[in-house]
Structure 1
Amino acid sequence: MANGAAATQTLFKSVFGALRTLLHLTAAVQFTYGIYYDYKYVEFPTSNDANAKIIYHPFGGKFKYLTFLDALIQALYYIVSLINDFVGTNELVPKRPPAIRKFKDWLLTTLAFPVALNVGITFWTLYAIDRELVFPKVLDAVFPSWLNHVLHTNIVVFIVLEMFTSYRAYPKRSKGLTGLSIFMGGYLVWIHIIKHFSNVWVYPVLEVLSLPSRILFFAAVLAFTGGLYILGEFINNVVWAKEVKLSQRKSK
């Protein structure tokens, strides 16, 4: 009986590990192709009419959009996860985790999870209120629906699945939030640099906000993203409660 139970457990771990690797492979291919297609084939419309509303300026290219930057983060995360599946370790609480596993854990906790949810939730919320604020109808002709869902929907679906299929060690909250704040703060500086040189806000919603409202909007985005970091930490602590306790005991 004991041998049968052990064999069943070993088989389960093997199947679960294979499915986790398939998840990482699917996500890595999907987001990498999405980035390639967006960068190579999607050309936003511009206008020579001085009276027309400009929604795109070439300064900064695709790298001005948080959606595109997040897609890069997601692709990097799943590629790193795939490498870790083969040459690193998916042991729940390894005594000496290899560098690839440490980087994988840091990337998800600090950037991949909170930024993915920020992009997905913010985009679809503004889209539901008034799509012209974030994704004008004129873009439908150049930005295919499947790519829209890859970059704004699937990022959330896959990262949530990842939270439930792979345990990761969260850093101290102060360190994790510091890393996330540096990234988001840097992005806010970047979009102001773009505004300065192109005289066009990256997102149409910023055009309709007054300066005080814009400051409140940026503050709310930063606070919201920080809240998403804490949400990820909470989910991890609930789903992987035993592993978190074991990790805490080993670190003492």
Structure 2
Amino acid sequence: MSKNKSNKTNAEVAHRGVYSTLKTLVHLIAFVQFSYAIYYDYTYVHAKQLEHQHKLPAAKPFGGKFKFLTFIDAVLQAVYFAICLVNDFFGSNEVSANNLPLIRKLKDFLLASLAFPIAMNVGITFWTLMAIDRELVFPKALDLIFPWWLNHIMHTNIMIFISLEMFTTFRVYPNRRTGLGVLSTFMILYLIWIHIIRYIGGFWVYPILDVLNIYTRIIFFLIILAFTIVLYLFGELVNNLIWTRELKLISRKTK
């Protein structure tokens, strides 16, 4: 009986070891691909090459790459998965809400408040507008300098890898007011930023804003803000459904 128990324990330890290794591998792949996408986009994708043939907001120098939420989100995802890697080696992935290392707390908070809702926002909004009229968000002329694989890393893989992280790694969501406060502040600051670009640079970052009047533009911005908040709540709901047993266990321990 004791031998069977020992064999079962060894098998569980081995299983946890393989699972931990696979998670670290996923974190590494995510970090490398997002980092390379940022490097490639920043170094080789210059819409100014198309400025004489096509009037594109991307060709305008003011704001650089950081005028696009897609690029900002790619940086955010690279930073997030770098933090995941550091946590894998020096932090903890244990199911616990107490005595967690700072890097683990930062990782959990960053996913909940920014990494998940922003990635899903960028991906869903981009592909929805592409389906309606790609000229409103990603003019066909950009295909000449923006390769298809980079497009999918920036707009598809961000959703895939952050969803994998949601389903494979436990976390306790932060206080809703705090999480939503950080997310809302981020989005409001970005909306202010694109208005600064409009005022100083004289152009809208996204072509869709050129076809909207002031009233429909305000409605569009409010919808984007509301959608982002819904994505935060959706992430919280999904997390609670996936990790129901673990969250209940922690709740009993903290009472």
Q: Could you say which TM-score interval applies, normalised by the shorter chain? A: over 0.9
The answer on whether the counterparts of 1:24 and 1:82 sit within 8 Å (CA) in structure 2 is yes
Q: For structure 1, which runs of at least 5 residues remain unmatched after alignment?
A: none
Distance 2:159 2:113 in 1: 15
Equivalent residue runs for 1:45-194 within 5 Å: 45=48, 46-47=50-51, 53-56=55-58, 57-93=60-96, 95-194=98-197
The answer on whether the counterparts of 2:116 and 2:162 sit within 8 Å (CA) in structure 1 is yes
Q: What residue in structure 2 maps to residue 195 of structure 1? A: 198
Distance 2:254 2:234 in 1: 23
Aligned residues: 250
Supply the AA of the counterpart residue of 2:51: S
User: Which of 205, 213, 226 is the aligned partner of 1:223?
Assistant: 226
Supply the AA of the counterpart residue of 2:106: F
> 1:247 Cα deviation (Å)?
2.9
Supply the AA of the counterpart residue of 1:76: V
User: Which of 13, 16, 31 is the aligned partner of 1:13?
Assistant: 16
Supply the AA of the counterpart residue of 2:188: G
Normalised TM-score (structure 1): 0.96
SS of residue in 2 equivalent to 1:33: helix
Supply the AA of the counterpart residue of 1:53: K
Q: Deviations over 1:96-139 (max 9, x none)?
A: 00000000001100000000000000000000100000000110
The answer on whether the counterparts of 1:31 and 1:150 sit within 8 Å (CA) in structure 2 is yes
> 1:251 Cα deviation (Å)?
4.2
The answer on whether the counterparts of 1:93 and 1:246 sit within 8 Å (CA) in structure 2 is no
The answer on whether the counterparts of 2:67 and 2:205 sit within 8 Å (CA) in structure 1 is yes
Q: For structure 2, which runs of at least 5 residues remain unmatched after alignment?
A: none
The answer on whether the counterparts of 1:113 and 1:229 sit within 8 Å (CA) in structure 2 is yes
> 1:217 Cα deviation (Å)?
0.4
Q: Deviations over 1:69-98 (max 9, x none)?
A: 000110000000000000000111153000
Identity %: 55
Q: Which deviates more, 144-153 or 241-250? A: 241-250
Distance 2:141 2:55 in 1: 11
List structure 1 runs of 4+ shifted beyond 2 angstroms.
Answer: 45-49, 52-56, 246-252
> 1:48 Cα deviation (Å)?
5.1
Distance 1:94 1:13 in 2: 20
**Change in 2 beyond 3 A, CA 1:106/1:53:** same
Q: What residue in structure 2 maps to residue 239 of structure 1? A: 242
**Change in 2 beyond 3 A, CA 1:102/1:139:** same
